[in-house]
Chains A and B, each alone.
Chain A
């Protein structure tokens, strides 16, 4: 990411990626001033939450990564984004996080949740 991409946008939103850099059902991890954020594409709707799972600090941005020898397993990915439910399951232990509220229903735990919007093909996040 170039220095120009790091420009502060109006209302505190900042560009973290271009839309086509985050395929649907996947996410990216970015460090914004020391804060780790995972940005997900749930069928064209973008969400930004803290990157670290509250359970054991797994990097949520890796949800949906293809497994080793995926063809010899039943499900092909480590966790993943559920585009219908707007949730992401952790790549380590499948804790399911609601992307709209950043909550884990079973434990009631919450992690950081950030405003996220798309503008002119750019994905913007506000901390």
Chain B
């Protein structure tokens, strides 16, 4: 007796069980063509400049690790290029993603120096996403200019209460962590609007532009470890300067900054703070409030106010090791699934259906795939 030979399903790329669980993707990049974005630039003077050969101010991109990748800089488009809603639907179907949180992903913007051009491109990107995606029912994250707090507030006034805008998207970096009090008006408005702050890694801070220096040379060093350290110092800075005491309802999501550093930060923050808590009273917010200490242990803010995206999951294959890492990371309270489509670091949700750490713990699986996202996004 011979067994059957069948052609495989031409559509599905992930285990069929993935289609039985709601999957919210916290970081799905839309990449409109430059010519299309220009249609949304409102300022004619700026548009004139952007339409010439000069365009945005050219700044050397130190993405030199890409030379050894088969697709070079096209690693940014390994899966393709989603420009319109049907493109996103087509991309999500084989990966069983039900609800992609789309963003315009103009991650090179912080790298530019010209404040007027930066704001104009950011505005165009937001209007493009509103017009093409939010109005079509997509959960959409619109961008905030970290470099211009007043303009960020103007943007929030403009679209903060629009339907289907589920979060505000900005960037983290090592130079000016988000704990600075200049960002308090943004935090206040985000809380009022019930929007989380989604912070993505920025191309402005590859090694030659960062405090790490010039000797980070490989993909593993640059992509694997530069952004995680930025995420970690931003997290610790926000917690220790009392951001979450002043804004306890604020939710912050770090995208592409890794997630397995949480146990390290969790225990190290508490250890250092409990040993030497006295300098907290002279940080700006605590000094203004006349409070000597944080209201809670640092790790409690990490659990309640900070979220991290899982792409790439990089889960240990041994289930008991994976289970323990998830527990120590407080993953059921802190992890949010993200695909990072269409980049080469794409992370389809296979881990959740192939590793016993999740097969045996569907509560944690569901929290990561949709529960935490539903808690913090304005869906």
Show the binding face of A for B, using Cβ within 8 Å: 1, 5-8, 14-16, 28-34, 36, 51, 56-59, 61-62, 67-70, 72-75, 78, 89, 92-94, 96
Contacts and interface: CB of A to CB of B under 8 A. Distances in A.
B52 interface: no
B346 interface: yes
- Most A Cβ at <10 Å: residue of B4, B15, B80, B91: B80
Contact of A28 (B7, B33, B350): B7
Given A62-B13, A89-B70, A67 B6 contact: no
Contact of B70 (A51, A73, A94): A94
B8 A14 contact: no
Closest 3 CB pairs of A and B: A33-B3, A68-B80, A67-B80
Interface of A is mostly: mixed
B87 interface: yes
Q: Dominant SS at the B interface?
A: loop
Given A67-B79, A69-B82, A78-B78, 4 more contacts: A29-B7, A30-B8, A68-B81, A73-B80
Interface string B1-41: 01111111000011100000000000000000100000000
A74 B347 CA distance: 21
B185 interface: no
B69 interface: yes
Interface residues of B, number: 36
B72 interface: yes
Residue among A15, A16, A28, A73 facing the most chain B CB atoms (10 A cut-off): A73
B8 A59 contact: yes
Given A57-B350, A68-B79, A74-B73, A33 B344 contact: no
Contact of B81 (A7, A29, A34, A73): A73
A19 to B, nearest CB: 16
B5 A1 contact: yes
A61 B80 contact: no
B158 to A, nearest CB: 29
Interface string B333-367: 00000000010111110110010000000000000
B113 interface: no
